[in-house]
Amino acid sequence: SSKEYMSYRAVHRGQAKYVIKRVAEEWEYQNRITFLKGVIDLAMETKFLNSVNHPNIIEPRGFAEGGAFQPGYFIVLDRLHETLPKKIKTWTTTDRQCKGITGVFVGGKAKVAKLITDRLRVAFDVASALHYMHSMNIVYRDLKPDNIGFDVRNSVKIFDFGLAKEMREEERNADGLFKMTGFTGSIRYMAPEVGLRRPYNHTADIYSFSMLLWYILALEPPYGFYTPEMFLQRVFQLGHRPVVMQEWPENIQTVMKRSWDVRLHVRPSFNIIMKVLKKEASKINPTDAREFLAYTGPMGPPATIGGNSGHGNTNSGPPRPSQQQQKQPPRRSSGNRTPAEMAPPPMVPIRS
C-alpha cells in the first residue's frame, strides 16, 4: 500500500546518515488512486514536519524543490536505527533472562528495575511529543509501534505524519468535537469513536497511547489475534479492554484505564500522563530515573492533578505552549485558542 511504502519505516540498513522518503513514480501508472493518496500523505507530512520542533519528533533535513505535488518530490530525514517492535523484542529477551535461576547470576533485580525505567522513559518521550503536538492543535491519528523509532543515540523519534491533522477552531462542533475522517490509523490502536466514524478530537491520541503503554509494559500487542470484526464488535461497540496486570504501579493502572475510557472527557491530558510516568520511574529506580526527571524539553505548563476542574484548568483540552516555546521563533501560527475551549475532564486523584 502507499502507506507501507511511504512510511519507509524511516529506517535504513547500512551506514547512511539520512534516508529519502518519496512516492514510487511507477504507481502513477499501476494504481493511480494509491499514487494520489501517497502524494497527499507526503504533502501533509511536509506541512507538519516543517511546522513542529521537538526532540522526540523526527527532524527533516531537506525537501525537494518545486513543492510536494511536483513529480519526483521527496523528503530527506534522519536515519533511525530501529523501531519500537524491535526494541520490545530486546526488552522481552532481557526480561526472560532476569527471571528464575538465571536472574540470580545476571543481577536480575537491578536489571529488572532498569528495564522498567527504560520502558517508562520511552513512554514518557512519546507522551511528551504528543503533548507538544496537541499544544499546536495537531492530532496525530496514527500512533502505533511501527511509527516510533530510535536514532543512533537511542533517542525516541515519532515519524510518519501523513495522517496528522490540524484542528481548526472554525471546524469545531458545539460539543467540542470535530468531524474528521473516521477509521483512520491502525485498528489495534484506534480509538472507538474513530473506528465508529463519529466526531472526535485530540483525545483519540490519548486512547491510542493507552494501548501503546499497555504494549510497552506487557511486552506483547494488545488484543492478541483479534480480527477486524472482533475489534468492531468487542472493542468499539462493547468496550472490551486489555487486562491490566496487578503488579503494575497503581498510578499507571489508573491513568491507563482513564486514557482508554469510552468517555472522551474522562481521558487525562498528556501533561498528567507525563507526571505519572516520571513519578513512578523515580520510585522504581531513582538512580536511573535522575536523567529522566531532569528532562526540560517543550512539555507545556506544569501538570496539576486534582484541584480545579473548571475555570482555566491547564489540563483540559490541548495545552497551550509554554513560555519557553513561545520565546522560540515559531515556524507557523498555532491558531487562536483559549484554555476554556475544551470542557475539562473530571480529575481522578493519583496516589503519591
Give yes or no: 142 in active site.
yes
In terms of C-beta density within 10 A (0-12 exposed, 13-18 middle, 19 or more buried), how is residue 253 classed? middle
How many percent of the chain have pLDDT more than 70?
A: 73
The residue from 142, 160, 205, 261 that is catalytic is 142
For 272-291, give the DSSP string. Answer: HHHHHHHHHHHHH-TTTHHH
Q: What is the pLDDT of residue 348?
A: 37
Per-residue pLDDT tens listing for the chain (352 residues): 444 444 444 444 455 688 888 887 766 667 777 778 888 889 889 999 999 999 999 999 988 887 788 888 899 999 999 999 999 999 999 988 887 655 444 556 788 888 999 999 999 999 999 999 999 999 999 999 999 999 999 999 999 998 999 999 999 999 999 999 999 999 999 999 999 999 999 999 999 999 999 999 999 999 999 999 999 999 999 999 999 999 999 999 999 999 999 999 999 999 999 999 999 999 987 776 666 654 445 444 333 333 222 323 333 345 444 433 433 333 433 333 333 333 333 333 444 3
- Could you tell me which residues come within 8 angstroms of residue 13 by beta carbon, excluding any fewer than 6 positions away? none
Spatial contact of 132 and 57, defined as CB atoms under 8 Å apart: yes
CB-based contacts of 326: which residues, under 8 Å, 6+ apart? none
Three state DSSP letters for 167-224: CCHHHECCCCCECCCCCCCCHHHCCHHHHCCCCECCHHHHHHHHHHHHHHHHCCCCCC
Straight-line distance from the first to the last Cα atom of the chain, in angstroms, rounded to the nearest whole number: 47
Cell of 124: 514518557
Predicted confidence (pLDDT) per residue in 68-107, tens digit = 888 888 999 999 999 999 999 999 999 888 876 554 445 5
pLDDT at 241: 98
Q: Which domains does the chain have, with CATH numbers?
A: 2-78 (3.30.200), 82-341 (1.10.510.10)
Burial (0-12, 13-18, 19+ Cβ within 10 Å), 176: middle
